[in-house]
């Protein structure tokens, strides 16, 4: 495993910590410990990351069923975990101080972890499943008088694309 993939796995594990605590704070109906469900959810998310990263490395078309049933739901989950990270970190530092000011024993704000992850799931699902289909690309030709496409000011590929004749 490359150092880059190991670093990505470490980052993925870090963003899954609040997810594990948040999912674990839900009351379960299956008779198991709630924290066990949370840690299993996070461990599955981290374990699946390596497979998703390796599957994307060759950069070739994949079967639509795999993309729709595995890649897209995992991408929604991973982005939601990333979205939940900042509110979770802030709550981790603020909630114990608030508890101490109230005179209560300090505790982890697992409810904030859960709600920020759920908010992230809704936001990311909307962005990935709905909003990206509403994008409309409009191309406009822009002519700049006196600008020679062969000039050093126009040496970049972008400038050549926009000034070339079609």
Residue 159 lies in a domain: no
Q: What is the mean pLDDT of each run of 10 residues along the chain (166 residues)?
A: 86 91 72 77 88 79 87 92 93 93 91 92 93 80 70 55 50
Instruction: Kindly state whether residue 60 falls inside one of the protein's structural domains.
Output: yes
In the numeric block, which tokens belong to residue 62? 């994949």
Residue 144 is assigned to a structural domain of this protein: no
Residue 103 confidence (pLDDT) = 93
Can you tell me the distance from the alpha carbon of 91 to that of 21, in angstroms, rounded to the nearest whole number? 13
**In this structure, is residue 75 part of a structural domain?**
yes
Which residues 6+ apart lie within 8 Å of 15 measured at CB? Answer: 78, 81, 82, 84, 85
Domain ranges, residue 77: 3-134
Q: How many domains does the chain have?
A: 1
Residue 107 dihedral angles phi and psi, to the nearest 5°: -145, 165
Q: Confirm whether 158 is domain-assigned.
A: no
Instruction: State the pTM of this model.
Output: 0.73
With respect to residue 110, please indicate whether it lies within any of the assigned structural domains.
Answer: yes
pLDDT in tens, 78-87: 999 999 999 9
pLDDT at 61: 84
Residue 154 inside a domain? The answer is: no
């Amino acid at each position: 495993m490359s150092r880059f993939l190991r670093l990505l796995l470490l980052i993925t594990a870090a963003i899954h910590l609040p997810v594990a605590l948040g999912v674990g704070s839900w009351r379960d109906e299956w008779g198991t410990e709630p924290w066990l469900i949370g840690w299993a959810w996070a461990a599955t998310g981290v374990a699946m990351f390596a497979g998703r990263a390796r599957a994307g490395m060759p950069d070739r078309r994949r079967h639509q069923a795999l993309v729709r049933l595995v890649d897209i739901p995992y991408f929604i989950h991973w982005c939601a975990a990333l979205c939940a990270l900042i509110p979770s970190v802030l709550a981790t530092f603020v909630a114990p101080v608030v508890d101490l000011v109230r005179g209560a024993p300090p505790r982890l704000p697992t409810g904030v972890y859960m709600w920020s992850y759920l908010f992230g799931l809704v936001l990311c699902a909307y962005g990935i499943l709905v909003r990206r289909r509403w994008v409309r690309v409009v191309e406009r030709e822009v002519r700049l008088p006196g600008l020679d496409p062969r000039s050093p000011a126009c040496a970049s590929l972008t400038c050549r694309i926009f000034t070339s004749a079609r």
